[in-house]
Amino acid sequence: MAKKVKGFEDFNIEGEKEKLQKIKRSFKPNSDQQQYTTNTRNEFDEKTRKITAVTKDEVEDKLDHIKKFSEEFDWDEVLNKNREEGEMDEWSALEKDMMAIADKYSGKFGSDSYGVADAMYQVLDGMFQKK
């Protein structure tokens, strides 16, 4: 059974973008021989296990939001706002160490560094089990 969405880390922005572009290409304009009254597409979501009807306008709107999010959102700015002056060096060192681990094990837990990140998450999750 498919894994349910539990948090932001489960959202794959590039995969969602590709899926939406594929749906957008599947829409056909009305012609004299074929008149679509609603012109929607039914899409099955593997994570939520539901079928959703989407229109071309909804797909274009989602693609615009993803593009805007990708251009405007800066994780460094968000993280820097939540850190105090002395913490910057500790966070930078931790980030550097984690990137070194991801580079070292890249390809051993999947085809890219995301597999390593997932493996690191599972290890950390196992270290701090809830009672």
Q: Which residues pair with 53 in a beta bridge?
A: 42
Cα–chain center distance at 21: 15
Residue type, 36: Y
Q: What is residue 82's predicted lDDT score, i.e. its pLDDT?
A: 60
What local confidence, expressed as pLDDT, does residue 86 receive?
55
Q: In the prediction, which pLDDT does 75 show?
A: 62
Q: Where are the beta strands (DSSP E) in the chain?
A: 40-45, 50-55
Give this prediction's pTM. 0.45
pLDDT at residue 1, rounded to an integer: 45
pLDDT of residue 3: 54
pLDDT at 80: 65
For the chain, the residue count is 131
**Any idea what the Cα angle at residue 81 is, between residues 77 and 87, rounded to 5°?**
105
Which residues of the chain, if any, have pLDDT below 50?
1
